[in-house]
Amino acid sequence: MAENQDLYKKAAAEQAVEYVEDGMVLGLGSGTTVYWLLKRLGELVDQGLNIKGIPSSLRTEGWAKEFGIPLTDFSEVEMLDLAIDGADEIDPDFQLTKGGGGSLVREKLVNAHAKRVIIIADGSKMVDRLGKFPLPVEVLQFAWQRTADKIAALGATPVLREREGEVFVSNNGNYILDCAFGSIENPRALHSELKLLLGVVETGLFIDMTDKVILAGPDGAQVINKSGQNPGNN
């Protein structure tokens, strides 16, 4: 299953490359699906494709450098032509949960400054309703316990993220609280409520940011536009 999932991630990423044009400045998302995107883009750069990218995490920056993708930053670029990113959950309205890899703030900034956003994923990420995956919320380290109390009062069970026995620190020097809210009825309202809490930096709810989703499974990669129509590969 895990092996297949990796093949699906690769298939979705390679389909997304079809939307990349010469001269574009790209937002480079984060995660293991984006790894395949970067690998393929690197091959195309080797063959002469002229692109630049802004990475949404230090991990992506490392992979992009390894694969020879030229990088830039927001001191040089006002608007990206296209951002391609992964997701932890995608609902039928294309609202997303992201942040499983801890890069949600930079990912959101990158996607917010892109003319178009394509999300790539294996089919398991598509859900009827967000909430099975605990919602990542990035918070300031200072008084994080009190911020967690406020989030708990909204109906979640926040857990301070750890990796290999250490508290996880984001690329921005913050903590992540993984907040199990159960099934999220109104992602937009929940995002707004969380944003009002002192100590919350950003939530992993990506509301109205996605134009296209490319999902891959046993039958290959499927492109889905926001309207829900399958346009083939356009």
Instruction: List contacts with ligand 5RP (CB under 6 A).
Output: 29-33, 85-88, 98-104, 107
Q: Give the shortest CB-53-to-ligand 5RP separation in angstroms.
A: 15
Q: Let me know: does 99 contact 204? Beta carbons within 8 Å.
A: yes
31 annotated binding-site participant: yes
CB nearer to ligand 5RP: pick between 85 and 178: 85
Print the SS3 string covering 62-127: HHHHHCCCCECCCCCCCCECEEEECCCEECCCCCEECCCCCCHHHHHHHHHCECCEEEEEEHHHEC
Q: Give the shortest CB-121-to-ligand 5RP separation in angstroms.
A: 7
108 annotated binding-site participant: no
CB contact set of 34 (below 8 Å; sequence gap of 6+): 13, 28, 60, 84, 85, 86, 120
**Which listed residue (61, 107, 138, 202) is catalytic?**
107
CB nearer to ligand 5RP: pick between 10 and 52: 10
48 annotated binding-site participant: no
CB nearer to ligand 5RP: pick between 81 and 88: 88
Q: Which of 129, 157, 138, 113 has its CA nearest to residue 197?
A: 138
> Among this protein's residues, is 14 annotated catalytic?
no
- Nearest to ligand 5RP by Cβ — which residue? 31
81 annotated binding-site participant: no
The tokens for 24 are 């574009």
102 annotated binding-site participant: no
CB nearer to ligand 5RP: pick between 33 and 174: 33
Q: Which of 84, 93, 88 has its CA nearest to residue 119?
A: 84
Cα-Cα-Cα-Cα dihedral sign, residues 210, 203, 173, 13: negative
Phi, psi of 62 (to 5 degrees): -65, -45
Q: Give the shortest CB-86-to-ligand 5RP separation in angstroms.
A: 3
Using CA atoms, how far apart are residues 36 and 188, in angstroms rounded to an integer?
30
Q: Give the shortest CB-125-to-ligand 5RP separation in angstroms.
A: 7
- Residues of each annotated binding site: 30-33, 85-88, 98-101, 125
- Residues of each annotated binding site for substrate: 30-33, 85-88, 98-101, 125
- What amino acid positions are annotated as catalytic residues? 107
